[in-house]
Structure 1
Amino acid sequence: MTRTVEEISHALIDAARKAGAEAADALVVEGTSVSVEVRNGALENAERSEGTDLGLRVLLGKRQAIVSSSDSRPETLTAMAERAVAMAREAPEDPFAGLAGPAELARGWDAAALELFDPAPEPSAEILMQDALAAEAAAQAVKGVSQVSDAAAGYGTHRVHLSATNGFSGGYARSSRSISCVAISGHGTGMERDHDGDGRTFQADLRSAEEIGRTAGERAVERGGARKPATGTFPVLFDERVSSSLIGHLMAASNGAAIARGASWLKDSLGEQVLPANLSLVEDPHRPRIPGSRPFDAEGLATRKRKIVENGILTGWTLDLSSARKLGLSSTGNAARGVSGPPSPSNWNLSLTQGDKSRDELLRDMGTGLLVTSMIGSTINPNTGDYSRGASGFWVENGEIAYPVNECTIAGNLRDMLRRIVPANDARAYLSRVVPSLLIEGMTLAGN
């Protein structure tokens, strides 16, 4: 008889108790994914996967161990529990390990209000292929596109359930739908590529395949004839497509695990200014239909909306139970985990205050500088915030785009960069990270 993810998680907890665990939690994830790729008008690859992954964490005092499996048969659950308990007996003590107390647990959430699962029927492989073909055809129809290297469409669902000996039991389901396209312009050493794509929780919200393919093609053509920019100090405008990476670096530096290790350029900055005074950064895990939304975290604590940065001031760290205990604080309900590892702090949906100018107006204001539309590689010093990344995009002269550029490096220090950001008003509200284009004056460019 097929068991639900909830039933499997409860069975794992029962097995852990019988094996001698003092405390335990079990995470069970049941997933289905379908993906289709096309090339030159024909199917190139189609994949479908279904499976259930199980993770069991057991604790003996302050010793813990984690085991995982993709086999949910009763005898396997028993073996997992016995193995985990044996491993925990040999593990070193971790003074900060432990489950949440009953009073800390989430209660009375409404997962349905978050609209994380599209009830529409699963699209067939034929429908996905037609979407991918439509995206490819739209890209190929753009004058100047020499080939389409990839066009794909996909669908997936996940059902998650977390149970623990502290009394927590909760789960929810997710769905995802996506279309993507990569187009190439030019030939030989003059080839340039760019892409577009969209991923949504609900099929009805997905942008059309034709729009995605056309945009990928137009972007690839715009990059034709790219060259290296000048070397020097110039303003840099991070396009909305890449600007969220800057906020990602800020989040990595304010992650409780990094703070507890003392490995962060923000470690002494709590209560200090990290962004311009008119900007706030808000985390909201309760936005409907957004991938980063969830009613509770991976330790059973309620998620909540919070201002990580308020009017430029850093107000707190991102914490799970372990990092919070190390720092003498309380968890912010930000634990994330997979089935094979322990919880760790992670951010949910983020939103940065938008400005009152469009990207074009910021381009006009910057005069001469670089518009960055894509980045590769990175060298980030976690202790100092020194920043260096490969970049490509467009050179701007007299406030207007002059020509495409590639093979350049942009560098600065994150602490200084983030305090000087000037936001545009072009953020896409349906993304998990709602961050507009960001202008930063006085960055170092290495080109010719």
Structure 2
Amino acid sequence: MPDFPQLEALTQALLAAAARSGADQADAVAVAASAVSVDVRAGGLEHAERAEGVEIGLRVLLGGRQACVSASDHSERTITEMAARAVAMAREAPVDDTLGLAEPDQLARDTDSRRLDLIDNSPEPDPATLQDRALRAEAAALAVEGVSKTESASASHSMTRFWLGASNGFSAGYGRSSHSLSTVAITGEGLRMERDWAGESRLHASDMPSPEEIGRLAGERTIARRGARKPPTGAFPILYDERVSGGLISHLVNAVSGTAIARGASWLRNALGEAVLPPGFDLYENPHLPRRGGSRLFDAEGLATAPRLIVADGILQGWTLDLATGRKLGMPSTASAMRSAGSPPSPGVTNLELTAGPLSRDQMIREMGRGLVVTSMLGASINATTGDYSRGAAGFWVENGEIAYAVNECTIAGNLRQMLSHITAANDLPDWRALRVPSLLVEGMTVAGG
């Protein structure tokens, strides 16, 4: 895999080619990635795969116009052709006066990401090691009484190095490793078959749960789903388990993206400074957490990242902005730009955490009396402008404060603004996830079952 000096040299070659082709401004990325994955089933190897490559991307700006090109070949000829093609495309693009690179005094000064500890420096696991992890997880799932078989058990490792260079003088990069392990278990046969899964991912192997923990959890979750059926229809409280509660908050996050706000296509477009969560709730972004997958010292436009409150005590504090959406809205960037090799920057978030509550998940189930605990979601119909919400769901029906039976076919519906203004959080805030959200109780949603 190319090292950082090689990736930096590629971005500088792209910038030089863009200047020769007539670009006013340009930025370039070079991404080197390698990945190996192993799938097992029934105690044997089912599939193994290794991939490795380098992708380069160039964005040129010319008189308020922009164009992006990318390639997996990084020869001198390809770089020259990319620059010429990008400039030709930009000349045909519509004018947008909000486009442009950061000013030099806006750029991050601290770009040494080693303090974030994003790379696992222990030996890279070979396929045999990954296969052993997957087999151990599968065996632990099969050891749970009632599990009939596994659908799969998978282990993987990847390493990515990223470098960003721009004609405004910015040049920096970082790397990131990843270890993952997951298992899908099955109980029953035919139409009475149910399945569930467990999986985890970490930057460092030493932070991973054991394969036995992951396999056993997959098996236990699967056994709990035996005898699943449809719930009743009506208006009931719904407890979003911490496995899926992050998806509910992600709808809020998407609604405060500068892209959606600038287009007027958000159900929170007029909510700045208003209550979007109940009092006491903070939604906090911290891109500087060590050993976390979303951490970074600078964004995809070279601006220094910083912790920020998106929601404070229930009140929406601001939008998520890159340079272009910030200029459209007359606001500074929140250093939230993200990009791939073939696309321009757009705003995004990393390492979010929602305030947890005082009660355990089990206590909240007891207090809800009768309703639905959702543990998985199926499909979605979300109106981005109105916030009207409808999703397929599966989980468990609660009667008299106790789980009565598993549920596998129902639809839940409501309006996101109303739903989020009436949430109660449990204390089971999960660790290690990019979106850390505890189980959330939402009052009075519509359940369509049998």
Compute the TM-score of the two structures, normalised by the length of structure 1: 0.99
Tell whether 2:380 aligns with 1:382: no
Which of 389, 411, 414 lines up with 1:412 in the alignment? 414
**Alpha-carbon distance between aligned partners in 2 of 1:383 and 1:67, rounded to the nearest angstrom:** 31
**Alpha-carbon distance between aligned partners in 2 of 1:92 and 1:316, rounded to the nearest angstrom:** 29
**Alpha-carbon distance between aligned partners in 1 of 2:438 and 2:124, rounded to the nearest angstrom:** 33
Q: 1:142-291 alignment to 2 at 5 Å?
A: 142-291=144-293
Partner in structure 1 of residue 375 of structure 2: 373
Q: What SS class does the counterpart of residue 191 from structure 2 fall into?
A: helix
Q: What SS class does the counterpart of residue 333 from structure 1 fall into?
A: coil
Q: Which amino acid aligns with 2:96?
A: D
Q: What do the CA deviations read for 1:83-141 (whole angstroms, capped 9, x no partner)?
A: 11121122221221111111111112331111111111110000000001111111111
Q: 1:316-327 alignment to 2 at 5 Å?
A: 316-327=318-329
Q: What do the CA deviations read for 1:226-272 (whole angstroms, capped 9, x no partner)?
A: 00001011110000000000110000111110000000010000000
Q: What do the CA deviations read for 1:176-222 (whole angstroms, capped 9, x no partner)?
A: 00000001111000001100000000000011111111111111111
Partner in structure 2 of residue 435 of structure 1: 437
Tell whether 2:81 aligns with 1:72: no
Q: Which amino acid aligns with 2:271?
A: S
**Alpha-carbon distance between aligned partners in 1 of 2:360 and 2:384, rounded to the nearest angstrom:** 32
**Alpha-carbon distance between aligned partners in 1 of 2:247 and 2:238, rounded to the nearest angstrom:** 14
Q: Is the Cα contact below 8 Å between 2:377 and 2:394 reproduced in 1?
A: yes
**Alpha-carbon distance between aligned partners in 1 of 2:339 and 2:111, rounded to the nearest angstrom:** 20
Q: 1:420-431 alignment to 2 at 5 Å?
A: 420-431=422-433
Q: What SS class does the counterpart of residue 180 from structure 1 fall into?
A: strand
**Alpha-carbon distance between aligned partners in 1 of 2:131 and 2:12, rounded to the nearest angstrom:** 39
Q: What do the CA deviations read for 1:17-52 (whole angstroms, capped 9, x no partner)?
A: 122211100011000000000111111110001100
**Alpha-carbon distance between aligned partners in 2 of 1:17 and 1:330, rounded to the nearest angstrom:** 28
Q: Which amino acid aligns with 1:145?
A: V
Q: What SS class does the counterpart of residue 145 from structure 1 fall into?
A: coil
Count of residue pairs the alignment pairs up: 448
Partner in structure 1 of residue 94 of structure 2: 92
Deviation at 1:429, TM superposition (A): 2.3
Q: What SS class does the counterpart of residue 98 from structure 2 fall into?
A: coil
Q: Which amino acid aligns with 1:123?
A: P
- Percent sequence identity over matched residues? 59
**Alpha-carbon distance between aligned partners in 2 of 1:436 and 1:272, rounded to the nearest angstrom:** 23
**Alpha-carbon distance between aligned partners in 1 of 2:65 and 2:107, rounded to the nearest angstrom:** 22
Q: What do the CA deviations read for 1:302-346 (whole angstroms, capped 9, x no partner)?
A: 111000000000000000111111111111000111111111111
Deviation at 1:380, TM superposition (A): 0.6
**Alpha-carbon distance between aligned partners in 2 of 1:90 and 1:240, rounded to the nearest angstrom:** 47
Q: What SS class does the counterpart of residue 148 from structure 2 fall into?
A: strand
Q: Is the Cα contact below 8 Å between 2:336 and 2:349 reproduced in 1?
A: yes
Q: What SS class does the counterpart of residue 4 from structure 1 fall into?
A: helix
Q: Which amino acid aligns with 1:423?
A: A
- The alignment's C-alpha RMSD in Å is 1.1
Gaps of 5+ in 2: none
Partner in structure 2 of residue 348 of structure 1: 350
**Alpha-carbon distance between aligned partners in 2 of 1:114 and 1:192, rounded to the nearest angstrom:** 41
Q: What SS class does the counterpart of residue 309 from structure 1 fall into?
A: strand
Q: Which amino acid aligns with 2:47?
A: N
Q: What do the CA deviations read for 1:161-188 (whole angstroms, capped 9, x no partner)?
A: 0000001001000000000000111100
Q: Which amino acid aligns with 2:311?
A: V
**Alpha-carbon distance between aligned partners in 2 of 1:6 and 1:191, rounded to the nearest angstrom:** 52
**Alpha-carbon distance between aligned partners in 2 of 1:187 and 1:388, rounded to the nearest angstrom:** 30
Which of 111, 114, 117 lines up with 1:115 in the alignment? 117
Q: What SS class does the counterpart of residue 305 from structure 2 fall into?
A: coil
Q: What do the CA deviations read for 1:372-394 (whole angstroms, capped 9, x no partner)?
A: 11111011111111111101111
**Alpha-carbon distance between aligned partners in 2 of 1:383 and 1:89, rounded to the nearest angstrom:** 33
Partner in structure 2 of residue 359 of structure 1: 361
**Alpha-carbon distance between aligned partners in 2 of 1:92 and 1:403, rounded to the nearest angstrom:** 57
Deviation at 1:61, TM superposition (A): 1.5
Q: Which amino acid aligns with 2:419?
A: M
Q: Is the Cα contact below 8 Å between 2:390 and 2:414 reproduced in 1?
A: yes
Partner in structure 2 of residue 136 of structure 1: 138
Q: What SS class does the counterpart of residue 266 from structure 1 fall into?
A: coil
**Alpha-carbon distance between aligned partners in 1 of 2:105 and 2:388, rounded to the nearest angstrom:** 42
Which of 313, 316, 326 lines up with 1:314 in the alignment? 316
Tell whether 2:104 aligns with 1:102: yes
Provide runs of 4+ in structure 1 moved above 4 Å.
none
Q: Which amino acid aligns with 2:123?
A: P
**Alpha-carbon distance between aligned partners in 1 of 2:282 and 2:419, rounded to the nearest angstrom:** 16
Q: Is the Cα contact below 8 Å between 2:428 and 2:439 reproduced in 1?
A: yes
Q: Which amino acid aligns with 2:235?
A: T
Tell whether 2:309 aligns with 1:304: no
Which of 27, 30, 46 lines up with 1:28 in the alignment? 30
**Alpha-carbon distance between aligned partners in 1 of 2:65 and 2:324, rounded to the nearest angstrom:** 13
